[in-house]
Amino acid sequence: MNYKENYKAWLANPYFDENTKKELESIAGDDNEIKERFYTDLEFGTAGLRGIIGAGTNRMNIYTVRKATQGLANYIVKSGKAAQGVAIAFDSRRMSPEFADEAALCLAANGVKAYVFESLRPTPELSFAVRELGCIAGINITASHNPPEYNGYKVYWEDGAQITPPHDIGIMEEVKAVTDYAAVKTMAKEDAVSQGLYEQIGAAVDDKYIAELKKQVIHWDSIREVGKELKIVYTPLHGTGNLPARRVLKEIGFENVYVVPEQELPDGEFPTVSYPNPEAAEAFELALKLAKEKDADLVLATDPDADRLGVYVKDGKTGEYITLTGNMSGCLLAEYEISQRKETTGLPKDGKLIKTIVTSNLADAIAEYYQVELIEVLTGFKFIGQQILGFETSGQGSYLFGFEESYGCLIGTHARDKDAIVATMALCEAAAYYKTKNMTLWDAMIAMYERYGYYRDGVQAVTMKGIEGLEKIQQIMTKLRANPPKEICGYQITSFRDYQAGTVTELATKDVKPTGLPKSNVLYFDMTDNVWMCVRPSGTEPKIKFYYGIVGTSMEDAEQKAQAMNQAVTELVESMS
């Protein structure tokens, strides 16, 4: 059926409720809106669903959630592991509790027990719960940092990481095979509860999760010494981080934690920000105002599902607050965790530092300095989780730290997704440690630059919405793949990685070798002077992203080179558009 036929079918089918039909009737004269809602099914990708909330096959609603869950249930049943059950969490977004229950009741109707959190919880706690409860899978209802009109549905497997091959492909095929919405199974909640197929979880899992986080503390002595002096401003941005972040900081000894009152309570409308993203300066406006009032040492913000952490630190010399990019905070934590583990207990001979391919090469320098192996994986924290699973199953490899440029990292292996709660805890611990050395976190950052070089990294994200936007993104990738540039910003391209083809081509010799990573629609350009650029379509938003990195000899030199590279990327994007 075409989009008009799909639209009419939803209006005529008694399976869809009256509120859904009223919403669809309200757009009867808007052909473009009807097309956007019905030209395709909301795609179940390698991480699950994400889309605008509303009626239609290309929207997040109870019917698309049920359909996705039916496919997941079919895959679980065929795997023979239905008895293990599925853990389900949700965030503060519109319809999140409702979507969580719809997923739970579909699973229950298929004979798969659902363990559902009683109220909103962070993404990393869902990852932890999957392994703690011995579940075969997990579902998290969240759209992370997207605008308020979005929601999403992330799927995890029994290792606690988001689904990777072969499970992602298998689940996607099962979801696609569900073509009749009315054939999807569900049941009444009271029946699911009485049959032992729906169980609420909460405090007991919280306690175990927090206990695991506290095991990661290295310098209890530093916290005892200065924890009562350190001043911390924190905002959960109306999301899930408020209770767990405050709890863990209090329990390890930080007493001066000031939460931004306007952003403390969960609210899916995100009334104080247009975009609840800790990467955005706007998200910090209220927090920085409070920080100046309290003379805070550091300012922290977690995104709505609390898997990503944004950071501002105070420069002790100027009193100004300086933003740390995800690369900067990730490298700062990597340096702290690895250096202090080396100092206190020594590093394992098979220690591993893991980063994604779009993450700063400063991580490579840190790994080389401490003589630990650097592992590079595709974008997506699930690939870092996959490496941890490999260490466990093979008995070879000790996980030290893993992070990606998009403000996500993991300390410890209690979860298999990025964890902004443990990152919050660790960054405050690091601030306390450096304070005992008469250093701020910014001083520690400068010390890293002096040791390794002044690495600067950036990203330009170009939004291209709708059907035409998706086509344009693919055209840009096709052009770059067919005719890769010879130089960018005066830096010669030395090698060209096409992760879709699985090849690395050395331009000087024309030698071709495999990337060694799974195939993905990503292009990577290595250049002279340790400069690089990577291009990839976003997996969760209608965007194409251009990542790049340079190395300078000083702050000023790095700034000049970064600005020049930024301009060169802008010109490249314009030439592709």
Active site residues: 144
Q: How far is CA 185 from the centre of its chain?
A: 31
**3-class DSSP state of 456:** strand
Report which DSSP code applies to 60.
B
Omega before 266 within 30 of 0, i.e. cis: no
Q: Are strands 543-552 and 532-537 parallel, antiparallel or unpaired?
A: antiparallel
CA distances from 456 to 281, 308, 325, 360, 532 (A): 18, 20, 10, 8, 11
Among the listed residues 189, 184, 145, the one whose alpha carbon sits nearest the alpha carbon of residue 65: 184
DSSP 170-223: HHHHHHHH---GGG-----HHHHHHTT-EEEE-HHHHHHHHHHHHTT-S-HHHH
> How long, in residues, is the chain?
577
Among the listed residues 170, 298, 190, the one whose alpha carbon sits nearest the alpha carbon of residue 234: 298
**Sign, Cα dihedral of 116, 121, 127, 132:** negative
Nearest-angstrom CA–CA distance, 83 and 148: 36
Nearest-angstrom CA–CA distance, 63 and 541: 21
Strands (DSSP E) found in 228-370: 231-235, 256-259, 298-302, 309-314, 321-324, 351-356
Nearest-angstrom CA–CA distance, 246 and 80: 40
Instruction: Tell me the one-letter amino acid at 386.
Output: Q
